[in-house]
Amino acid sequence: MLRIASYLLLILILTTSSITTIGQQNQNDTRKEWWRDARYGMFIHWGAYSVSAGEWNGQSHYSEWLMTEAKIPLSEYRRQLVERFNPTKFDAAAWVKLAKDAGMKYIVITSKHHDGFVMFKSQVDDYNIVDATPFKRDPIRELAEECRKQGMRFGIYYSHILDWARPEAKNPGSQEFDRYWNNTVVPHLKELLTNYGDICEIWFDIGKQTPEDKVKEILAIIANLQPATLINNRVKSFSDYGDFISMGDNEIPQSNFNKDFESPMTLNHHWGYNKVDKNWKSAQEVIDRLIDIASKGGNLLLNVGPTGEGVIPEESAQVLREAGEWLARNGNAIYGTRPLPFPYHFDWGAMTTKDNKIYLLIKNWQGKLVLNGIKSRVLKAYPLNAPNTTLKFKHKDSINLMLPDKAKDKLVSVIVLELNGQPEVDQKIIQQGSGKVILNLEVADLKLNKEKPIENTAEWKFRIFTPGTYEVSLTNLHKVKTKRDFQHNIIITVNEQKFSVLPKTSDEFNESRSTQYPYEEATVHLGTLNFPRPGEYTLKLINDQVMQPSQIRKVPWQQDRLKIRTITLTPVKE
Ligand code: FHN
């Protein structure tokens, strides 16, 4: 009787504890502590497709999407790629060492991508790297063991919905899909969670169609076999299932939205190895993105795509090592830090916080830095790597900080502000010390008009300290090489001032921070506004491209070819 009761109790614990949902950041969830402290991990996209290096019949393809893009039948894929997959240069110790040198705290590798080829020894069928290739080794095991040796956490990516090798997977919800699920997904997950030691994170992908009961089944399996394993919300994409939100590919949120998130990011324009893609981000660009993500409370999962021989391309390794050197000098400002609740980003860099300290991560180094919005009293300011060099500052409403020349780091320099307690900041939108006002769509008050989207309005209240004339510019997302411009005038009003403009050409293009290539951010000049006195103002932007910000994490950004991101007000020097 007692045994039955304790069995029922166990079932109850398993079923209730199995449904993890994404909570607010301040929630006391000790399972996530290491992950929140880590801030930086390595993503590895590696599989039989790597053999092709992105090329098929003389044409370049999207690496890991090759099978479906080039319409290669399974038998041919198997013959030409799987049976030639012999990555004899694969060296798990070297990969883990690279991740360590890069300053990364965990690794997540593809154990099965959409092509359905299994990168570990499985008992389910022989379409796996040990049974179907001349290589005959299990790289997932080798990496897992090496991670354990070198003190690196180990996680796996698993494509649970898309599987082009198993036709039964085609229609989620159908009976055939249930067969795929029961004969492939469930046993695979059990194998991965049983045979490879601690799995820090399971990374599911493209899970929009995952049937609800299947999500619950996965969560229960994980809770049962490895309750500490974290799960991303793409187990059912755009949902709150799992432990953290996977942002869109290459997406960085515009501001801290108080939830745990991870930005998966490519180092060039592909995930899997593509021999012609030399668009490597520089170490500067990597650190720039890492500080942006950390300052908003997320993790960067930065991808490498090893070759079919098992080598991480040297160009990417070099960038990672250089960024790792920066982390070795400045890691205190990243690892274990938490975000501050500013509703905007900064033009000069980013801020993180730990204990009674604020770290200023300065990209644009100038002789002095003016900071608005820090309410706590600053006791002391010094360069992170020269704590005895105290910096001069004045703190009235703003903090005026004099910056020395010698603290300058070639990538991003860090200054520490020591406070008289926990940091307290103004959570309203205010003019920044540089004079700019940054208005992100994510934090706008929206009024959407379904019948007349042309009247859709985004509205921001903000405080100006310095009266004068300001240039108004708009940053939007736009597909590279397309001529998609705004179809309707953008109307801007501030109190009694109003102007209407149809922006034609962009003045400035940057790699997109909201989605992956081939999208980019374009900044256009809209006009000027006058702010006659200090005080609070309301700016309204009216245009049919104003969309629901909650949709930002519900649908992929790339579904729209043009999207408004930020309005920036910059004082005009008179
Ligand atoms: O289709 C995949 C892609 O190949 C890659 O694995 C990325 C990584 O986030 N996820 C998918 C698209 O979102």
Ligand 1 atom index nearest CA of 159:
6
Select the highest-mean-pLDDT range: 17-26, 222-231, 471-480: 222-231
Cβ(264) – ligand 1 distance below 6 Å: yes
pLDDT value for 551: 52
pLDDT value for 404: 87
pLDDT value for 26: 53
Q: Band of the pLDDT at 23, cuts 50, 70, 90? A: low
| Percentage of the residues of the chain whose pLDDT score is greater than 90 | 77
48: pLDDT strictly greater than 70: yes
Q: What mean pLDDT comes out for the span 31-55?
A: 98
- Spatial CB neighbours of 335, under 8 Å, sequence gap ≥ 6: 37, 38, 39, 105
pLDDT value for 546: 84
Question: And the tokens for 344?
Answer: 């905007």
Query: Which of 109, 111, 265, 271 to mutate for ligand 1's pocket (most ligand atoms within 8 Å of CB)?
Result: 271
* Whole-number Å distance between alpha carbons of 93 and 246: 28
**Exposure of 11 by Cβ count < 10 A (0-12 exposed, 13-18 middle, 19+ buried)?**
exposed
Mean pLDDT of the chain: 91
Amino acid making up residue 10: L
Amino acid making up residue 533: R
Q: Are 295 and 362 in contact (CB under 8 A)?
A: no
Q: Which of 10-14, 52-56, 334-338, 550-554 has the lowest mean pLDDT?
A: 10-14
DSSP 8-state class, residue 418:
E
* Whole-number Å distance between alpha carbons of 569 and 402: 25
Q: Band of the pLDDT at 9, cuts 50, 70, 90? A: very low
HSE of 27, CA atoms in CB hemisphere, 13 A: 14
In angstroms, the first-to-last Cα distance of the chain is 86
3-state secondary structure of 370: strand
More confident residue, 386 or 555: 386
Q: What mean pLDDT comes out for the span 355-365?
A: 95
Q: Band of the pLDDT at 28, cuts 50, 70, 90? A: low
pLDDT value for 407: 66
Cβ(158) – ligand 1 distance below 6 Å: no
Amino acid making up residue 418: E
27: pLDDT strictly greater than 80: no
Amino acid making up residue 515: T
Amino acid making up residue 365: W
More confident residue, 443 or 329: 329
Query: Which of 249, 263, 553 to mutate for ligand 1's pocket (most ligand atoms within 8 Å of CB)?
Result: 249
Q: How far apart are the CA of 205 and the centre of ligand 1, in A?
A: 7
Orientation angle between helical segments 92-101 and 314-330, nearest 10 degrees: 40
* pTM of the shown model: 0.93
Q: How far apart are the CA of 272 and the centre of ligand 1, in A?
A: 10
Cβ(249) – ligand 1 distance below 6 Å: yes
Burial 442-473 (b: 16+ CB within 10 A, else e): bbbeeeeeeeeeeebbbbbebbbbeeeebebb
Q: Which of 140-144, 466-470, 510-514, 537-541 has the lowest mean pLDDT?
A: 510-514
Cβ(47) – ligand 1 distance below 6 Å: no
Cβ(115) – ligand 1 distance below 6 Å: no
Protein residue with least CA distance to atom 4, ligand 1: 64
pLDDT value for 255: 85
547: pLDDT strictly greater than 90: no
Q: How far is CA 180 from the centre of its chain?
A: 30
Q: What mean pLDDT comes out for the span 421-425?
A: 95
Query: pLDDT digit string (tens) for 407-419?
Result: 689 999 999 999 9
Query: pLDDT digit string (tens) for 249-277?
Result: 998 988 888 899 999 999 999 999 999 99
Ligand 1 atom index nearest CA of 249:
9
Q: How far apart are the CA of 204 and the centre of ligand 1, in A?
A: 10
* Whole-number Å distance between alpha carbons of 110 and 268: 18
CA angle 131, 206, 216 (to 5 degrees): 90
List the 519-531 sheet strands across, edge first.
437-440, 562-571, 468-479, 519-531, 508-511
Query: pLDDT digit string (tens) for 472-529?
Result: 999 987 777 766 678 889 999 998 899 999 987 666 778 777 777 777 888 889 999 9
